[in-house]
Each structure stands twice: as C-alpha cells, then as structure tokens.
Amino acid sequence: MKKKISLLGLILILVLSFTGCGKSETTEYDQATLEQYAEFVVQNFEAMTTEQLDSFSDMRDLQLDTQLMNAGLPVDGEDFLTMISSWEAAEEECGAYVEHGDWTMEVKNDGVSLTSEAKYENRDADIVFSFDEKGNMESMDVSAHYSIGEILEKAGLNTVLGMGTVFVVLIFISFIIYLLGYIPKLQEKLANKDKKVEEKKEAPVQAAPAPVAAAEDDAELVAVIAAAIAAAEGTSTDGFVVRSIKRRKSNRWN
C-alpha cells in the first residue's frame, strides 16, 4: 500500500513538472520604443518623394541593410521595400497622407502590432505596424476605410465581373464543342469531294463518232427520192434522171 502511494506521489510530481515546463514566459514589449520606430518610418515616408522612395529598390541588399542599421531601424531590407510598396499603394488609393492619431498596441502569440487611425486626402485608413517577438519590424499595412455603400458597390461589381467571366468561359466552351462536332462533317465532305474527283479521272473517254461525208449523204438522199418518184410514175430512176437533166438544160437555154 505504501509503495502504491509513493508511486502515485512520484507521478503527480512528474506531471506538475511537465506542466511547469510547458508554460511560456510572457514577452514584455517597450511600447514607447516601438512607437518611435513607427513614427520614424511614417515621417520619413511622408517627407520623401516618389523618386527617393524608388531609389531604395535600386540599392544592393548589403547596402540597404547597412543603411537601415545605421539609421537604427530594426528591419530587414526586403521587408523595408515591402513597406514602401504599401505606403505608395495607400496614397494611390486614399490620396496624400495628412496625419495620424495615437498608437494602440496589441500583443499576439507571435509578436505585437501597433495601430493608428490615419487621415488621408480622400479617405481615412488604419496604419498597422507588425513586430516579431524580438521587436524587429516585419511589415506595415494600410487599410482604407470604406462606407457600407462603397463596400456593397464593390461587392456588386466583383459579382458582375465574376458572372461575366463565367459567361464568357461558357460561350468559349460551347464554341469549342460546336467545332468538335462540325469537324468530322467537314472531313467527310472533303473526303467525298476527293473521291468524286478521282472517279472522274478514272472514267474512260468515249471516242467521238466518225463524221459522215456530206456528199455521200446527199447522194443517198437523191437516190432515195429518185426511187420513190420512179416507183410512183412507173419509170426507172435512170429515165427520171435523164428527164431532169433535159429539163434543166431547156430551162437554161430559155
């Protein structure tokens, strides 16, 4: 019995020790320092022109990282270029930057974020800076504020565009199906046409009938007519021919 109690006590101690190891230490962040980083970025982005901001992308990675380190800004060069793109996109969408309010810090599992409501020329927006657990700056996002009407209008436009795209794709698919059904018929017509051409080439050419001499036809016709007249008058064909010749001569002299 004592052994069982000792064993249960040992198991309880092990469980409590594992539970204690599973607890993570809460990271404490210096909000004032993080706000200084955020203010430094906003003020420099506001003061720079588009050409100056774009010049950072022309720098080499080592040169950009060195310049950011000398400025005391804990951010990677690639992340810094992404922040510049976000700033430029925000000004295209919301207009020129005017000002922003106080910063609000929110602690997350993988870091911390600072949020401030900013005022731009055309609409308001939220500027959000994200930091990792070591306090290094990871990103900057600008979320524009839209009214309910603008949100519904944009949603409706996206719906129309989506339906239009689907409609065009369906028409294209129908056209492809129609072509697939018409191609065999076209091939059959072409095959039949080629077959008829080959049959015409293989057909024998009939010889033209030999022409009959016109003189022979006339002689046979005269003989037939003479025989018919002789039979009617009871005379021979020779007498008919002689009388015909005499009549022609008498008519010629007269």
Q: What is the pLDDT, as a whole number, of residue 24?
A: 44
pLDDT of residue 124 exceeding 80: yes
Phi, psi of 94, rounded to the nearest 5 degrees: -110, -10
The per-residue pLDDT for 170 is: 87
pLDDT score at 174: 82
- Bigger pLDDT: 85 or 241? 85
d(CA 86, CA 91): 9
HSE-CB for 174 with a 13 A CA cutoff: 6
- Of 3-12, 26-35, 66-75, which gets the smallest average pLDDT? 3-12
Taking only Cα atoms into account, the Rg of the chain, rounded to an integer number of angstroms, comes to 55
3 state SS of 210 = coil
Is-contact 166 150, C-beta < 8 A? Answer: no
Tell me the pLDDT tens digit for each residue of 148-195. 887 787 788 888 888 888 888 889 888 788 777 767 777 777 777 767
Length of the chain: 254
Between the alpha carbon of residue 38 and those of residues 23, 78, 114, the distances in Å are 31, 17, 8
**What is the per-residue pLDDT across 39-76, written as a single tens digit (0 to 9) for each?**
999 999 999 999 999 999 999 999 999 999 999 999 99
CA pair distance 63, 48, nearest whole angstrom? 19
29-145 CATH: 3.10.450
The ranges assigned to domains in the chain are 29-145
pLDDT tens per residue across span 78-113: 999 999 999 999 999 999 999 999 999 999 888 999
